[in-house]
Structure 1
Amino acid sequence: MPLCGWMKVFHELVQRKVQLHNTRQLFLNLGKPKSHSHVLEYSFNDKEHQTEEEVKNLLRSPLIPLFLSHRRTRLLNPEMGVAAKIAPSMLSSDFANLASEAKRMLSLGADWLHMDIMDGHFVPNLTIGAPVIESLRKHTTAYLDCHLMVTNPLDYVDPMGKAGASGFTFHVEVSKENWQELVQKIKAKGMRPGVAVKPGTPIEEVYPLVEGENPVEMVLVMTVEPGFGGQKFMPETMEKVQVLRKKYPSLDIEVDGGLGPSTIDVAASAGANCIVAGSSVFGASKPGQVISLLRKSVQGAQQNN
């Protein structure tokens, strides 16, 4: 008999013998304690099993330790599409207090922590690498959304995987010839692969990576030129987001650069659901309110579409 509704989810979890991590999505931990990267977004069509508490009860099993908190977890409505995820960019944080800054963002409602890795070659700036990710991982179990602005992303897969990175987003501009190998290695290290595209790169270049046999799981549309924080949002990049959302309704689409209260609505309306925000969050007097505003804009746009 075909499985449906909550039974599909339960069957999938039991088959993989996974753990659940308490974020707004379920992160499948495939046996690596520091990795919470494989995402199962779930929805329930069975009207009898719509409430959060009922779902928790259904998923309780000796094989599945459950770590879902009432505050951090919600069900995904099929009509809403993919979940809103707000990722403060740690590039704008106080690097001398990175662990406490990370904890502060999470306590204020952040879903992910966005980490910018720059090599000084693909972009002129030089930031952090695997040692900083490894150090931060000791202080948090949060999803570390790593954006690699580097010329040779293959060189970073092993160290980033060992360091505890959750997501590994590389640039299509430097991976046109070897993206299949790159995606395979990223997944083999327990990380979730994503591909980023610069403002001047045609969005069509990411299609093969989304549609391939071993696809990426997120597309990051840069809304500024990569390499520096605090830049002005480029509204012309929203056409790429619109095209992606129409073509891939269930894809995680992330935007990064100049996002804040004055620009979030246009990004959310275009179809972005993963929002990276640096200066607008860390520079705010009440960053928690900004995080909440960003999420509400995404959720409102999804409900209206």
Structure 2
Amino acid sequence: MKIIPSILVQSEDEFKIQITAAENVLEMVQLDIADGKFVPNTTWADPDVVEKQTDLDIELHLMVEKPLQELKRWSATEQIKRVLIHYESVKNLEDIMPTLHAYGWEIGIVLNPDTPIDVLEPYISEIKAVMFMGVVPGFQGQTLIPEVLTKIKKFKSLHPTIFTEIDGAVNEETLPEIIASGVDAICPGSAIFGNDRTVEKNVERMQDIINKLT
């Protein structure tokens, strides 16, 4: 199981603090981008700063109404390896797939807690990853919605080779049941960046739990 912490920040300074702390500890981080429309909050994200500030691989989690418009801003950012677009944010995923493929990134689809997995079936051959939201998207520190774990188990049984992630309410307390779902990666936010311990220590604590239970 991979640990891909999510960075959800409101300022450049906050980003620099978190990404610097993640260097030499992690291989990849997730950068959350929220527009205040698809979700109620907004986040900071500047491609030029990101490109200069880190060598870490990055996956973009787009919580925005117009994902293609946002992706154009990131087309020259070499650190981007995967983009995660909410199924609920576009009217027809099929219409935007050619553009997504043209960028050369891995394509991932995000499902909100109440979105069924069968909506993905028409796109299975075109996507590399699915991220399941364990909470209503937009804010860190919420309670895990347990039904999401059932969705993950079902999806993994149907499509075992597609990379799966869970974002939201990922912490040391919920980690055992999350591991049991069979998900491939966790995307903790506040559990990594939101306490007095170092990022390295928080990652180590979560990795210890993973090692014991897998």
TM-score by length of 2: 0.89
Q: What residue is the counterpart of 1:222 in the other structure?
A: 133
Answering whether residue 188 of structure 2 is matched by residue 277 of structure 1, we say yes
Tell me by how many angstroms 1:218 deviates. 0.6
Q: What residue is the counterpart of 1:81 in the other structure?
A: none
Instruction: Compare CA radii of gyration and give the structure with the larger one.
Output: 1
- What is the distance in 1 between the residues matched to 2:9 and 2:26? 14
Look up the SS of the partner of 1:206 in the other structure: helix
Question: Which structure 1 residue ranges, 5 or more long, are not aligned?
Answer: 1-83
Letter aligned with residue 159 of structure 1 = R
Answering whether residue 141 of structure 2 is matched by residue 238 of structure 1, we say no
Relative contact order: is structure 1 or structure 2 higher (C-alpha 8 Å, sep ≥ 6)? Answer: 2
- What is the distance in 2 between the residues matched to 1:290 and 1:103? 15
Please tell me the root mean square deviation across aligned C-alpha atoms, in Å.
2.1
Q: What residue is the counterpart of 1:148 in the other structure?
A: 62
User: 8 Å contact 1:196–1:222 — kept in the other structure?
Assistant: yes
Answering whether residue 177 of structure 2 is matched by residue 266 of structure 1, we say yes
User: 8 Å contact 1:92–1:229 — kept in the other structure?
Assistant: no
Look up the SS of the partner of 2:104 in the other structure: coil
Q: What residue is the counterpart of 2:118 in the other structure?
A: 204
Q: What residue is the counterpart of 2:16 in the other structure?
A: 99
Letter aligned with residue 175 of structure 1 = V
Aligned match of 1:287 in 184, 196, 199? 199
Any idea what the Cα deviations from partners look like across 1:52-93, whole Å, max 9, x if unmatched? xxxxxxxxxxxxxxxxxxxxxxxxxxxxxxxx3212221169
Q: What residue is the counterpart of 1:133 in the other structure?
A: 47
Answering whether residue 90 of structure 2 is matched by residue 175 of structure 1, we say yes
Tell me by how many angstroms 1:295 deviates. 3.4
Look up the SS of the partner of 1:204 in the other structure: helix
Q: What residue is the counterpart of 1:47 in the other structure?
A: none
Tell me by how many angstroms 1:241 deviates. 0.8
Any idea what the Cα deviations from partners look like across 1:21-56, whole Å, max 9, x if unmatched? xxxxxxxxxxxxxxxxxxxxxxxxxxxxxxxxxxxx
- What is the distance in 2 between the residues matched to 1:221 and 1:181? 22
User: 8 Å contact 1:161–1:190 — kept in the other structure?
Assistant: no
- What is the distance in 2 between the residues matched to 1:291 and 1:207? 34
Any idea what the Cα deviations from partners look like across 1:159-218, whole Å, max 9, x if unmatched? 2222443221111113351x23423322311322100000111111122222x3xx1111
Number of residue pairs the alignment of both structures matches: 212
User: 8 Å contact 2:23–2:54 — kept in the other structure?
Assistant: no
Closer, same or farther: CA 299–136 of 1 in aligned 2, 3 Å: same
Closer, same or farther: CA 139–292 of 1 in aligned 2, 3 Å: same
Answering whether residue 24 of structure 2 is matched by residue 113 of structure 1, we say no
Q: What residue is the counterpart of 1:5 in the other structure?
A: none
Flag the structure with higher strand content: 2
- What is the distance in 1 between the residues matched to 2:22 and 2:8? 13
- What is the distance in 1 between the residues matched to 2:165 and 2:61? 11
Letter aligned with residue 204 of structure 2 = S
Tell me by how many angstroms 1:265 deviates. 1.3
TM-score by length of 1: 0.64
- What is the distance in 2 between the residues matched to 1:94 and 1:265? 33
Letter aligned with residue 87 of structure 2 = V
